[in-house]
Amino acid sequence: MKHIPFRQVHLDFHTSGLIKDVGVDFNSKEFAETLQSAHVESVNIFAKCHHGYAYYPSKTVPIHPHLKFDLLGSMMKSLHEAQIRCPLYVSVVWDEYIADAHPEWLQMDSNGCVVGRKPYGTNEENERWLYLCVNSPYLDYVATQVDELIDMYHPLYGIDGFWFDILKYSSDGCSCANCRRGMLKEGLDPSDLESRRDYSQKVLYQAMKVLFERVKTRLPDALVFFNGRQRIDTTPGRGLRKELDVVTHLEIESLASGEWGYNHFPLFIRYNQIFGKEIIGMTGRFHRSWADFGGYKNPAALEYECYNMIANCAKVCVGDQLHPRGRLEKVTYDLIGPVFASIRDKEPWCEGARPVADIGVLAVNDGEYGPALRPRIRTLEAAMQMMLEDHRLFQILDYEEDFTRYKLIICPDILRFNNFLAGKIRDYLEGGGRLILSYQSGLAVDKDSFVIPMRAEVQGLSEFRTSYLRFKPPLAQGLSEADYVVYERAMNVLAKEAEVLAELVHPYFDRNWNHFMSHAQTPPDRPGPYAGSLRYGNVVYFAHPLFRAYKKYGNFCYKKAVSNAIDLLMGPRVVSADIPSTAQLTLTEQPLKNRLILHILHYPRERRAHIDIIEDVIPLYNIPVKMKFCHAPKRVYLAPQLTELPFTYEENTVCFTIPVVRGHAMVVVEAR
């Protein structure tokens, strides 16, 4: 497989057939030079778009009605002459031309309606396009185009790869005639929602396999990627892990200022890291989201999003959309260029780097399925956000991952244990592992009782909607002596032989229509018989859903209590830095070069509109850092500046001070 470059652009070109001057301003020399000047190493270019049009002289796909020349071939020629790679983009499920020509190939929901855009809809959000089913002759149509592209262009220029987009079905599964027949043939009930979802995932995997093999049989070194597949799904058989054999690498489309938000990439990168494949992160140059013509991202926002990728061992891709007349916008590449120049300088400390993590957060879904067969992950996102703000080194784990790689596992709020998971966790604890549970995590699937040794008894849900926590040392570290409100119902847990770390304090009564006090919840009365938090051996348990509560209400005490529990179980951190919660910290290693690289980012964001805005770079000065290191390092320095930092070393800990973090800082600790 070809080496994946760090600096990439994804060049959308979804161009309506109503546009009549397609490509009239395209100049191949200017096109390549603009990308070169912005330090772009690879660009995804369009063979076929969502409108269903080809941008080359195809004999299998309709050519855009107003394109007068081979735009794709011209791009390939000029880019390869400029030593810029150009994987070919092919839209799959969204294809308006074929949707109109073959409505019998469309996805159908269980109400008998086509999936996607309604006949007279507003084209808002998830109703912008019609969805085709790949369990139909449509898959052969796409595969034939792949063959045609290889036949036409590989002998001329060589093909770097294929980028297949929109491999997804609705959360309802597909009920088209082909899928119903296929399900019946396999003994499945098409009227059953979960059976439809399982079958739709199977259909998508088989389509990916067909296209992957179609490419790799003829182009063994080509990159192959299928977009639209990112998800964290704990339902057996529906996870991302099973699809790793039909992609050459992983990509995370995450336009933070669009529908994804700034929590999306940090969550998904820490899940994708566990698979050991190369990863590309993708943001966009747009202020909002795709096709935001005239909307340009603030420079600080683009810096943060791109530097966050390399800080998490991912390559970088920035999305753009080519104007229909075929000329790249100078303002866009003036925006991208400085960021890519900086990444170019930082690459020697990012190439081959691996993330360092000592905490694993077990994936958990919130039950509902959103668009594109993706389960809701609100509780997991809450745990991720808490770990990110607390500057922990963590990854998101599925249940097949090797738990022994992590010193501590966190099971947030609603992760009840089946027999498989209970056995795996018991083995992990017997091997010296540490565990944090909250609310219903660690309980049996079918009853309210712990399935791991806890020496505590669960007696169902509390009768109080709101209650209070009175923390004891060491959970009280950094918190004033007080009763802290939790606005979520707790589990009633008797400590038995377990150590109580926080008492559960009940209110006098729950507020309702005929008994209430003042403006909000009733004040605390006194501790009851139940524990708010307890410890038994290497396990700490919280009776409330503290992660979900933190996401909803943001109370500092929830995060601090969890942080104190982690410190109690793990002791000193691998790396600690005196930075605010608005900063982010990651640690990577380059084993072949015997060095660790500390990344600190500080780009505070604000909710100034309906999206989060990053506009200003606020520097941090004179940051003391402590890092565990097995022996005295040879040197500590800033990269890429190569500025040496004074350090001390004592008791397996190296200490140094970072003079300034202006957006992004990299500190290299190099072994002798």
The answer to whether residue 178 sits within a structural domain is no
Q: Are residues 235 and 288 in the same domain?
A: yes
The answer to whether residue 534 sits within a structural domain is yes
CA distances from 169 to 224, 282, 369, 540 (A): 20, 22, 12, 40
Q: Are residues 543 and 563 in the same domain?
A: yes
Q: Are residues 344 and 366 in the same domain?
A: no
Q: Are residues 341 and 367 in the same domain?
A: no
Q: Which residues pair with 657 in a beta bridge?
A: 624
CATH of the domain at 283: 3.20.20.80
Output the CA angle 481-486-487, nearest 5 degrees. Answer: 150
Residues 128 and 44: their CA atoms lie apart, in Å, by: 22
Q: Are residues 312 and 453 in the same domain?
A: no
Residues 121 and 125: their CA atoms lie apart, in Å, by: 11
pLDDT score of 99: 97
**Which tokens sit at 639?**
């990269």
Q: Which domain holds residue 633?
A: 575-670
Residues 242 and 256: their CA atoms lie apart, in Å, by: 27
pLDDT score of 672: 84
Q: Are residues 340 and 404 in the same domain?
A: no
Phi-psi region of 503 (alpha: psi -120 to 50; beta: other; left: phi over 0): beta
CATH of the domain at 647: 2.60.40.1180
| Cβ atoms of 655 and 624 closer than 8 Å | yes
The answer to whether residue 193 sits within a structural domain is no
Burial class (CB in 10 A: 0-12, 13-18, 19+), 107: buried
Residue that terminates a domain, selected from 310, 329, 353: 353
Q: How many CA atoms lie within 13 A of 564 on its CB side?
A: 22
Q: Are residues 266 and 327 in the same domain?
A: yes
The answer to whether residue 549 sits within a structural domain is yes
Please identify which residue in the block is written with the tokens 């290299």. 668
Residues near 210 by Cβ (< 8 Å), separated by ≥ 6?
139, 143
Q: Are residues 329 and 447 in the same domain?
A: no
Specify the pTM.
0.96
pLDDT score of 126: 54
CA distances from 404 to 134, 311, 400, 424 (A): 40, 24, 12, 10
Residue that terminates a domain, selected from 515, 550, 570: 570
Q: Are residues 458 and 550 in the same domain?
A: yes
DSSP 424: H
Residue that terminates a domain, selected from 300, 321, 353: 353
pLDDT score of 552: 95
Residues 131 and 204: their CA atoms lie apart, in Å, by: 13
The answer to whether residue 230 sits within a structural domain is yes
Residues 133 and 202: their CA atoms lie apart, in Å, by: 12
Give the chain's residues under pLDDT 70.
Answer: 1-2, 121-127
Q: Which of 274, 238, 268 is nearest to 252 (CA)?
A: 268
Residues 171 and 189: their CA atoms lie apart, in Å, by: 17
Q: Are residues 595 and 530 in the same domain?
A: no
Q: Are residues 502 and 615 in the same domain?
A: no
Q: Are residues 265 and 147 in the same domain?
A: yes
pLDDT score of 123: 61
**Which tokens sit at 269?**
């990168």
The answer to whether residue 195 sits within a structural domain is no
pLDDT score of 258: 82
Counted domains in the chain:
3
The answer to whether residue 110 sits within a structural domain is no
The answer to whether residue 174 sits within a structural domain is no
